[in-house]
Structure 1
Amino acid sequence: MFKEYNHSAFSLHYELVLVTKNKTPIFNEDIVNFGVEIFKNISVSYQVNLTGIHFEATHMHFKFEAYPTTNLYKFINAYKSASSRKIKNYYPEVRDKLSGTAMWEANYFLITTGVSSNDIVLHYIEEYIKCDEIHHEHTENCIGE
């Protein structure tokens, strides 16, 4: 349900929406699959894990998980730059439709997603915190000991 890193537990889920320049319709299944492979290749360096994808002709939605240390701004801009360059080089029809402009709009939409935070907090308390600090009762594997 969540990951651990440096004595912390977290569950960071995001959805990123990227729109093509001037909403130019360029995406089909082949181009999207190529773009997904680029996403996966870049994501390794940023500790990002792709969990879902949706697309229409003018935009792509990426659902992914990340670490608290992930610089999302750098990751997103690295993806936009690499995917624009590689897709335009590999698919000349995309380059022609865009008439030499950038593939993506400069702005993007990023939102946090996931299950109810109450559910995650309760799971964390039940599974990871093995101490009763109020009554000073501790069991084995108590975090903080």
Structure 2
Amino acid sequence: MNGEEDHIHILFDAPPQINLANTINSYKTVTSRYIRKEFSEELSTFYWKPYFWNRSYMILTTGGATIDVIKKYIENQGE
């Protein structure tokens, strides 16, 4: 996991029967609650809306790239 100023990249492995939309929604819900609770004072001047994450997301498959190539790409985000 790594990111840039306005988005994050997360590499995860999921079997085909997993509903990715539900997985992403759950991840965003849990992390939003945690971040707002743990950093409420720091965020109070920046986030006044009732939601933390944007509703959109993007999921890509790794295609023919190796896991090492994908990990390196994610690790180099923001540089």
Q: Same fold (TM over 0.5)?
A: yes
What SS class does the counterpart of residue 16 from structure 2 fall into?
coil
Taking only the aligned residue pairs, the percentage that are identical comes to: 33
Partner of 1:58: 6
RMSD, matched Cα: 1.6
Q: Which has the higher strand share?
A: 1
Partner amino acid for 1:91?
F
Task: Please point out which of 27, 48, 52 is paired with 1:99.
Answer: 48
Higher gyration radius (CA): 1
Partner of 1:109: 58
Task: Please point out which of 30, 36, 39 is paired with 1:82.
Answer: 30
Partner amino acid for 1:113?
T
Higher RCO (CA < 8 A, seq sep 6+): 2
Equivalent-residue separation in structure 1 for 2:30 and 2:44 (angstroms): 14
Q: TM-score, normalised by structure 1?
A: 0.40
In structure 2, runs of 5+ residues without a counterpart are 66-79
In structure 1, runs of 5+ residues without a counterpart are 1-52, 117-145
* Conserved 8 A contact 1:89-1:95: no
